[in-house]
Structure 1
């Protein structure tokens, strides 16, 4: 047992894991990686060590390692040890993306994600008037069957898809503006909304872990049905009016969210 882990009491009734052995091995190693016990650049235990630790065959261990390679957590080269991939997990600070960009500056997500030399960009996927999901409709105060302006985009870092963003806007705000045009908005929508007289004042996030949908699976090029982090983000302006509701989806095993609070 690794340092700091908890031993969970077992019984015949609860000692039941439906996953195959290689999936269970991958799960334990994944946790070692994501918690930092196996840091970026570190070698994973050898096949011999893993066989002994998990009482598994060579083939089973290799299947477990392949899962981690497919998930972009580790790198394996012929004749060399399997190592933890550098920058295998991104720490996302939502508060850093909230304020509108300065005049002439790119979308704040691009600016923040490009720090450290990464090549960040966004790809516009869709602009359309749609009936949004129920939780989005409720957040935007829409009547049943009401429509909103959808802007869908894919965010990439070094050409790897990292986040699928689907944003919705009330039609009375978005129609006949750059929000409704099928092109990227310089500085991002927070700056445009402020220019339109709807400055962002409050942002509320609701975060959940979910099994990816087919669309999310394809767009993010996920290797398996590992959970994704889904954020429903609602932005309010003056008078507590909702002006934007976005669904942000990212791979759970490659991202963590960091929120900071101060004591009153």
Structure 2
């Protein structure tokens, strides 16, 4: 017998179970969900509790009510993002891969720059970049947009001696994105290592990602290496966990 019990309010438990059905694709996009009466019978809950659960999921954008028709799963399925698809420099004359990859999904990709500054980065970033205790790095912080909606919050750090005097220190967007610029500077991205975690959002993330409630986020801590495994970029990327999945294709040797 399990020693740990789910002490969350019943409405939140029901919402969590339904959310899992939507995220997994068991409840398909555009599908009409069971009636309130059926949900009451299935979960042994009151009408008030069921409405509370549905209200949570509507606020998250996972469900939508249609007057006179019922409640439906949102038309767009949760997206699986392939991080490796953004690593390579863009082809000549082409936009940053965030934009081109969005276009392949019939979406409009964009970025909103939050901050560009030379800062003292977190301890772990300093250690990876080989900086002294008081060493600095250039921070580029942005919100990645899909169809004008926040999709990710990205903080990227570059060694200051590498970035100074380049467009990495410019608040304007970089044509082709940072991978293209780094390659032009003689530091082509060769490898990346990702660490993936799920956790509650910070206040900053909650605001910039415009989260509808206290939902978890996916955090990707990424190190990008150039030739001779020189670390040229350290990035923390955060995405809303109720809207996105991270996909990885790894060859088996």
- What residue number does 1:113 align with? 102
Residue 253 of structure 1: how far off its partner (Å): 1.4
Q: Which secondary structure state, in structure 1, belongs to the residue aligned with residue 16 of structure 2?
A: helix
Please report the RMSD computed on the Cα atoms of aligned residues, expressed in angstroms: 1.2
In structure 2, how many angstroms separate the alpha carbons of the residues matched to 1:79 and 1:109?
39
| 1:98-109 mapped onto 2 (5 Å cutoff) | 98-109=87-98
Report the TM-score when normalising by structure 1.
0.93
In structure 2, how many angstroms separate the alpha carbons of the residues matched to 1:138 and 1:50?
52
Q: Which secondary structure state, in structure 2, belongs to the residue aligned with residue 207 of structure 1?
A: strand
| 1:35-50 mapped onto 2 (5 Å cutoff) | 35-50=24-39
Residue 71 (1) aligns with residue 75 (2): no
Residue 251 (1) aligns with residue 240 (2): yes
In structure 2, how many angstroms separate the alpha carbons of the residues matched to 1:116 and 1:92?
11
| 1:176-191 mapped onto 2 (5 Å cutoff) | 176-191=165-180
Residue 224 of structure 1: how far off its partner (Å): 1.6
Q: Which secondary structure state, in structure 2, belongs to the residue aligned with residue 149 of structure 1?
A: strand
- What residue number does 1:6 align with? none
Residue 43 of structure 1: how far off its partner (Å): 1.1
Residue 111 of structure 1: how far off its partner (Å): 0.4
On the 8 A contact 1:72/1:88 being kept in 2, the answer is: no
Q: Which secondary structure state, in structure 1, belongs to the residue aligned with residue 66 of structure 2?
A: coil
Unaligned runs of 5+ in 2: none
- What residue number does 1:62 align with? 51
Count of aligned positions: 253
In structure 2, how many angstroms separate the alpha carbons of the residues matched to 1:231 and 1:78?
39
Report the TM-score when normalising by structure 2.
0.97
In structure 2, how many angstroms separate the alpha carbons of the residues matched to 1:138 and 1:54?
51
Q: Which secondary structure state, in structure 2, belongs to the residue aligned with residue 82 of structure 1?
A: strand
* Runs of 4+ displaced beyond 4 Å: none
Equivalent residue in structure 2 for 1:130, among 114, 119, 125: 119
In structure 1, how many angstroms separate the alpha carbons of the residues matched to 2:225 and 2:106?
33
| 1:134-145 mapped onto 2 (5 Å cutoff) | 134-145=123-134
